[in-house]
Amino acid sequence: MSEQTESLLTGMADAGCKAEEIEKAGRILQTGSLSELTKFLKQCRCGLLDRMHESQQRVDLMDYLIRKTEKQSIK
């Protein structure tokens, strides 16, 4: 495995990409299609953003529950 390939796959893992995505990126890299790889990386980025937004919604819900509980304890 080339240093560039290893760097890309490690970077994907560090970014939180799923194992299947990393494996697929490796297969795409083997074909040498950089345009297909770029397209796939953008898809992975969208997936990460979706997961981030879902996490943010859960944090927002926890903030709401905390505020609600604090208001009840003041009464």
Please tell me the distance from the alpha carbon of residue 68 to that of residue 22, in angstroms, as a whole number: 42
| Percent of the chain surpassing pLDDT 90 | 88
Please tell me the distance from the alpha carbon of residue 11 to that of residue 42, in angstroms, as a whole number: 14
Instruction: Tell me what the pLDDT averaged over the chain comes to.
Output: 95
Please tell me the distance from the alpha carbon of residue 74 to that of residue 51, in angstroms, as a whole number: 35
Instruction: State the residue range of the domain holding 69.
Output: 3-74
Mean pLDDT of 34-62: 97
User: Is the pLDDT at 1 greater than 80, yes or no?
Assistant: no
Helix axis angle, 34-74 relative to 3-15, nearest 10°? 20
User: Is the pLDDT at 24 greater than 80, yes or no?
Assistant: yes
Confidence of residue 52 (pLDDT cuts 50, 70, 90): very high
- Say how many domains are in the chain: 1
Confidence of residue 8 (pLDDT cuts 50, 70, 90): very high
